[in-house]
């Protein structure tokens, strides 16, 4: 990884053609400069098509010949998905490209012309002039498995969002037509789905006796439904305040919603199984799943965001990638409170935060560390700050396990934290 800005600056020499591109849906804009940021060609259009890409390639070759440049480097903001087609074309042509932080571009615009204005031509010029100063990052070199995991986990996340949306619509339906249902049948598991599908309205339940309802639901695949729960369900159905109008459409709506939910659940299960199978091919997988409290799905989502952790020389690179780097604002004798930067992968940061909670129950070392920071030491931090500390610690341990090729050792982790034995003296 190229984390040293000086190294990034040194990659651009007097024989390098630097091109900045502002990405859009149909027409990109590019600007070419030299190693000192002097414009060699003002902003021009790149059509989002094969012909447009080939014309752009021909323009690059002509600029390199005209200005005696031996290599070219292209940079753009990785916003949205419109840059991916161009990136694939550049990769096929063997042309290197780098990524420029959109926040840096936004904050640098006024340096270009001392105006707050924004347009595609100006953005392309700003991006091009930032690159010779080292304000860019190298894209991660991804293997075939890395690409599959990245694409698959992104799609899995979208499926889960759609599934959550359907569940919310089902709960809304229940609130309208059978609000008492949720007080008897908790959640939207197999029991709830079967009852709502075959006897959704209170009036559909009241035509049965207790025994008949149990027999009917068993024929529909509902098992382990207690007699007490059935009696309670019939009792609340008799006095339900649910809407009585349009019963046919209400039954059709809930049936279709349940079919959609079932489809999403099966798709999520299928893609998760495929992703876990792919992730097992990575050497990091077995090391990371050896941590008590870390599931296989957590590991595959972590690796989809980071790639193999062996690529990182120091865990601080992972902190930065996740936006967990500590920052503070200080001036003179005034020292501000430390906080995390949140400049990094939002999904990775959220994944780590959610992964900490199972660790507190399944891993005594992490539980002891949480208690130390939140309660035991002389200056305890807030509960949320303690969880963030555990996120950093988890990344640090994951990096160590992958780097040294070993599995998690609870006793060694406790030995490495002697301050836990005497918290007040630490």
Angle between helices 296-306 and 247-279 (to 10 degrees): 70
User: Tell me, what's the pLDDT at 303?
Assistant: 94
Q: Are 402 and 309 in contact (CB under 8 A)?
A: yes
Strand partners, 31: 20
Neighbours of 315 (CB within 10 A): 18
pLDDT average, residue stretch 312-331: 86
pLDDT digits (tens, 9 = 90+) for 275-301: 999 999 998 999 999 999 999 999 999
Residue 269's pLDDT band (cuts 50, 70, 90): very high
Residue 224 has pLDDT above 80, yes or no: no
User: Tell me, what's the pLDDT at 1?
Assistant: 42
CA distance linking residue 213 with residue 207, whole number of Å? 9
| Least confident span in 122-136, 156-170, 216-230, 392-406 | 216-230
CA nearest 29: which of 68, 62, 74, 91?
74
pLDDT average, residue stretch 100-123: 76
pLDDT average, residue stretch 52-74: 95
Q: Does domain 148-276 correspond to CATH entry 3.50.50.60?
A: no
Residue 182 has pLDDT above 70, yes or no: yes
The two structure tokens encoding residue 53:
């890409």
Residue 311 has pLDDT above 70, yes or no: yes
pLDDT average, residue stretch 334-347: 82
The two structure tokens encoding residue 376:
């035991």
Helix (H) or strand (E) holding 264: helix 247-279
User: Tell me, what's the pLDDT at 113?
Assistant: 65
According to CATH, the topology of domain 5-133 is: Nucleotidyltransferase; domain 5 (3.30.420)
pLDDT average, residue stretch 261-279: 96
pLDDT average, residue stretch 403-424: 81
User: Tell me, what's the pLDDT at 114?
Assistant: 61
Return the SS3 of 22: strand
User: Tell me, what's the pLDDT at 235?
Assistant: 92
Residue 57 has pLDDT above 90, yes or no: yes
Residue 334 has pLDDT above 90, yes or no: no
Neighbours of 256 (CB within 10 A): 11
pLDDT average, residue stretch 106-120: 70
Q: Are 323 and 349 in contact (CB under 8 A)?
A: yes
User: Tell me, what's the pLDDT at 48?
Assistant: 94
- CB contact set of 356 (below 8 Å; sequence gap of 6+): 366, 387, 390, 391, 394
Residues of the chain above pLDDT 70, percent: 94
CA distance linking residue 292 with residue 307, whole number of Å? 21
Higher-confidence position of 105 and 255: 255
Q: What is the rounded average pLDDT for all residues in the chain?
A: 89
User: Tell me, what's the pLDDT at 425?
Assistant: 44
Tell me the domain boundaries of the chain: 5-133, 148-276, 283-328+335-425
User: Tell me, what's the pLDDT at 421?
Assistant: 63
Higher-confidence position of 116 and 418: 418
């Amino acid at each position: 990884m190229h984390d040293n800005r000086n190294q990034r600056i040194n990659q651009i020499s007097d024989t390098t053609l630097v091109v900045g591109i502002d990405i859009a849906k149909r027409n990109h804009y590019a600007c070419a400069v030299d190693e000192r940021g002097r414009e060699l060609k003002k902003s021009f259009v790149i059509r989002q098509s094969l012909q447009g890409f080939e014309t752009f390639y021909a323009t690059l070759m002509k600029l390199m010949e005209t200005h005696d440049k031996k290599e070219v480097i292209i940079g753009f903001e990785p916003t949205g998905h419109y840059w991916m087609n161009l990136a694939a074309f550049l990769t096929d042509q063997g042309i290197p490209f780098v990524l420029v932080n959109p926040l840096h571009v936004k904050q640098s615009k006024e340096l270009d012309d001392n105006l707050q204005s924004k347009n595609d031509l100006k953005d392309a010029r700003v991006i091009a002039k930032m690159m010779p100063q080292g304000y860019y990052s190298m894209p991660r070199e991804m293997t075939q498995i890395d690409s599959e995991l990245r694409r698959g986990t992104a799609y899995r996340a979208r499926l889960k969002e759609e599934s959550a949306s359907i569940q919310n619509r089902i709960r809304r339906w229940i609130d309208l037509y059978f609000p008492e249902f949720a007080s008897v049948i908790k959640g939207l598991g197999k029991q709830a789905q079967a009852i709502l599908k075959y006897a959704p309205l209170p009036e559909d339940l009241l035509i049965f006796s207790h025994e008949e309802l149990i027999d009917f639901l068993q024929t529909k695949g509902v098992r382990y439904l207690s007699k007490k729960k059935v009696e309670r369900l019939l009792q609340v159905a008799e006095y339900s305040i649910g809407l009585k109008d349009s019963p046919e459409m209400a039954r059709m709506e809930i049936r279709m919603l349940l079919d959609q939910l079932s489809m999403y659940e099966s798709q999520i299960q299928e893609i998760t199984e495929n992703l876990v199978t792919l992730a097992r091919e990575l050497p990091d997988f077995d090391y990371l799943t050896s941590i008590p409290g870390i599931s296989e799905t957590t590991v595959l989502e972590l690796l989809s965001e980071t790639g193999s952790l062996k690529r990182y020389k120091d865990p601080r690179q992972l902190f930065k990638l996740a936006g967990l780097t500590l920052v503070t604002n200080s001036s003179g004798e005034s020292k501000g409170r430390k906080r995390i930067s949140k400049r990094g992968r939002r999904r990775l940061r959220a994944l780590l935060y959610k992964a900490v909670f199972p660790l507190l129950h399944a891993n005594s070392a992490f539980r002891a560390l949480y208690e130390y920071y939140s309660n035991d030491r002389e200056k305890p931090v807030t509960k949320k700050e303690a969880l963030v500390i555990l996120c950093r610690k988890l990344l640090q341990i994951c990096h160590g396990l992958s780097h040294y090729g070993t599995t998690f050792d609870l006793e060694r982790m406790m030995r490495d934290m002697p301050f836990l034995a005497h918290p007040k003296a630490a």
